[in-house]
Amino acid sequence: MKLNKKDILEALKTITVPGAGENMVDSGAVTNVLTFGDEVIVDVTINNPTLQARKKTEVDILKTIHEKVYEKAQVKVNVKVNAPAAPEKNEIKGKAIPGIKNIVAVASGKGGVGKSTVTANLAVTLAKMGFKVGVLDADIYGPSMPIMFDVASERPLSVTIDGKSKMKPVESYGVKVLSIGFFTKPDQAVIWRGPMAAKALNQMIFDAAWGELDFLLLDLPPGTGDIHLSIMQALPITGAVVVSTPQAIALADAKKGVAMFQQDSINVPVLGIIENMAYFTPAELPENKYYIFGREGAKNLAEDLDVRMLGEIPLIQSIREAGDVGRPAALQADGPLINVMDEITRNVVEETVRRNTDLPPTEAIKITTMAGCAAVKN
């Protein structure tokens, strides 16, 4: 069949590119259409640089041409991203920390959704991939990293670096850990309020001997309170990952979490959403998936907010057991979590690289390639 350009343009007038109100032809997003027999090449330019936006544009064009013009048309879509001009001043806030390349905040709107479990598993997976990783547990309401890394009875030692006394993070499974939990008794209610907690956190960052780190994961307290603001003002946060479970109530809070980071005055890029406890898989029936808390809620939320869905973590008994005994489940030799965590971690690295390409380089945003990360190359 010989396709004609006019029919293609008419069909493309029925769809938009992400973020645009007008259809993709009238908005000027479609910059060229070429037809040869049953082949079509569509050049389209979009403003949104995310992988989802590019994929969605491509799929929408493909589907529309197949549905409205010719179902066997061979369609090639060239998506160009009209990258926003690099901001004049670096958007990263706070002082850059020498040696720390990326600070990734792990947040959740609601408590108990598994934010700390995800942080611990992300950390050990990044370390397995060859990255230098630190975890800073800033969850003043329930610091859980000392237990999750089996270092609850340890305390950071003091070391002298360049004549200054510094706090040496405790090391476990190749990950350097500092936690507000090291400075409180386990049974003591933590009633620190924002400024005090922020001061303690500042010390754990600026007065700590982290050494060289590719990633410092920051386990934030749940919610969107004052303490978050203090932390984000004090620290050069590269990007944030938001953890949610599939229930509507958790998703509503996750949405607030994403909105907090995206607020103009904060403007911390959201790397994506991770859905935890996405489905239940019993150990004896590893192929079965039971969506007990609802299905694809986080995926829909990610699409809605136009942020990346980084992956789904199942509800598995061994994840809870591993957390309780202080050996993150991602360290197991195999099991249902390994592939899932590898994929999510790769996605986090990918999004960090993408985000760093869009901003001018600073001390805080140095990872610009994924070279050296064997697992990422797979």
Ligand X SMILES: Nc1ncnc2c1ncn2[C@@H]1O[C@H](COP(=O)(O)OP(=O)(O)OP(=O)(O)O)[C@@H](O)[C@H]1O
Burial of 105 (0-12, 13-18, 19+ CB in 10 A): buried
Q: List C-alpha distances in Å: 236 to 68, 206, 230, 369.
A: 49, 12, 12, 20
Q: How far is the CB of 276 from ligand X (least distance, A)?
A: 5
Which amino acid makes up residue 347?
Answer: N
319 lies in the binding site for ligand X (CB under 6 A): yes
How open is the CA angle 204-209-212, to the nearest 5 degrees?
115
CB-wise, 151 or 364, nearer to ligand X? 151
Q: Which stretch binds ligand X (CB under 6 A): 58-66, 108-116, 171-179, 248-256?
A: 108-116
CB-CB contact of 230 with 258 (8 Å): no
Q: How far is the CB of 206 from ligand X (least distance, A)?
A: 24
- The reply to whether 115 sits in an annotated binding site is yes
Q: Which stretch binds ligand X (CB under 6 A): 87-95, 163-171, 316-324, 343-351?
A: 316-324
CB-CB contact of 250 with 115 (8 Å): no
112 lies in the binding site for ligand X (CB under 6 A): yes
DSSP label at residue 159: E
Among 16, 45, 48, 108, binds ligand X (CB under 6 A): 108
Q: List C-alpha distances in Å: 375 to 113, 135, 312, 314, 349.
A: 27, 21, 19, 21, 11
DSSP string, 179-233: EGGGGS-TTS-----HHHHHHHHHHHHHTB---SEEEEEEEPPSSS-HHHHHHHH
Among 99, 142, 294, 335, binds ligand X (CB under 6 A): 142
- The reply to whether 110 sits in an annotated binding site is yes
Q: Per the structure block, which two tokens stand in for 96?
A: 């850059």
Q: Per the structure block, which two tokens stand in for 44?
A: 């389209």
CB-CB contact of 329 with 323 (8 Å): yes
Among 16, 102, 116, 281, binds ligand X (CB under 6 A): 116
CB-CB contact of 45 with 52 (8 Å): no
CB-CB contact of 125 with 345 (8 Å): yes
132 lies in the binding site for ligand X (CB under 6 A): no
Q: How far is the CB of 5 from ligand X (least distance, A)?
A: 51
231 lies in the binding site for ligand X (CB under 6 A): no
# residues near ligand X by CB under 6 A: 20
CB-wise, 64 or 117, nearer to ligand X? 117
Beta-strand pair 213-219/133-137 = parallel
Among 269, 311, 323, 328, binds ligand X (CB under 6 A): 323
Q: How far is the CB of 341 from ligand X (least distance, A)?
A: 10
- The reply to whether 99 sits in an annotated binding site is no
- The reply to whether 109 sits in an annotated binding site is yes
Among 6, 80, 193, 320, binds ligand X (CB under 6 A): 320
Among 114, 134, 239, 311, binds ligand X (CB under 6 A): 114
**Contacts of ligand X in 258-287 (CB under 6 A):** 276-277
What is the phi/psi pair of residue 306, to 5°? 60, 45
- The reply to whether 113 sits in an annotated binding site is yes
Which amino acid makes up residue 198?
Answer: A
Q: How far is the CB of 142 from ligand X (least distance, A)?
A: 4
125 lies in the binding site for ligand X (CB under 6 A): no
Q: Per the structure block, which two tokens stand in for 249?
A: 């109530």
Among 16, 102, 117, 352, binds ligand X (CB under 6 A): 117
11 lies in the binding site for ligand X (CB under 6 A): no
CB-wise, 222 or 239, nearer to ligand X? 222
CB-wise, 139 or 214, nearer to ligand X? 139
CB-wise, 112 or 211, nearer to ligand X? 112
CB-CB contact of 108 with 115 (8 Å): yes
CB-CB contact of 314 with 343 (8 Å): no
Question: What whole-number distance in Å separates Cα of residue 263 and Cα of residue 103?
Answer: 19
CB-CB contact of 290 with 33 (8 Å): no
113 lies in the binding site for ligand X (CB under 6 A): yes
- The reply to whether 112 sits in an annotated binding site is yes
Binding-site residue numbers for ATP are 109-116
Contact residues toward ligand X (CB under 6 A) are: 108, 111-117, 139, 142, 144, 222, 276-277, 313, 315-316, 319-320, 323
